[in-house]
A and B are shown apart, each in its own frame.
Chain A
Amino acid sequence: DVKVTQSSRYLVKRTGEKVFLECVQDMDHENMFWYRQDPGLGLRLIYFSYDVKMKEKGDIPEGYSVSREKKERFSLILESASTNQTSMYLCASTAYRGGNQPQHFGDGTRLSIL
């Protein structure tokens, strides 16, 4: 069974801090994704990566960056946290064997920026 592990369930940070959210998957998946989930807005894609050191912007990349140095790990970085980045952050992964492969999700990190 695929396991996607996010480093923290809950995180509280202050405005202006640099914040790191970590995600690890154990199935050798090529593709990894970071979303944010807000009530009434569904899931919005921040960044995704389809290979080590490769990344593509999603729909809302402003204020975020990512790092993928190893295939199993995908990090989301808030360069200078702001209160409007308070949200639930979800990491997902999928194997690239055609688009019919489902995405597998972690439990999410609920991030509060004070």
Chain B
Amino acid sequence: AQSVSQHNHHVILSEAASLELGCNYSYGGTVNLFWYVQYPGQHLQLLLKYFSGDPLVKGIKGFEAEFIKSKFSFNLRKPSVQWSDTAEYFCAVNNAGNNRKLIWGLGTSLAVNP
């Protein structure tokens, strides 16, 4: 069965530190990949997505992610975090053959200290 693994459950950083959140998935076929963010008290919203083309995708608020097919990975990065990036981050995957359902990672809680 498909699964998504997020390596870190809790991350604590200081402002201006660099961020990388890991995401690996298990599925051998064509996939669509997503990162969502949930700021405190707000609804889940899309950060960025990949479905084809350039494997380095850029999203909102300076985030980017790189799809490495050989490693089944889609890691999220930001060169310099801000206090306002404190949130929960979710990686999600679906496959081209059954693309209605998303498979979700368990999430990573990021706390950025000012």
Contacts and interface: CB of A to CB of B under 8 A. Distances in A.
Nearest to A92: B44
Interface of B: 9, 32, 34, 42-46, 49, 51-52, 90, 94-96, 99-102, 104-107
Interface of A: 4, 31, 40-45, 48, 50, 58, 90, 92, 96, 98-100, 102-103, 105-108
B51 A43 contact: no
Contacts of A45: 101-102
A99 B94 contact: yes
A99 B32 contact: yes
Nearest to B47: A102
B32 A100 contact: yes
Contact of B44 (A50, A90, A100): A90
B67 to A, nearest CB: 13
A45 B2 CA distance: 14
Nearest to B97: A99
A43 B88 CA distance: 12
B26 to A, nearest CB: 16
Nearest to B105: A42
26 contacts: A40-B9, A42-B90, A42-B106, A43-B104, A44-B104, A45-B102, A48-B100, A48-B101, A50-B100, A58-B101, A96-B100, A98-B99, A99-B32, A99-B51, A99-B94, A100-B32, A100-B49, A100-B51, A100-B52, A100-B99, A102-B34, A102-B49, A103-B102, A105-B43, A106-B43, A108-B43
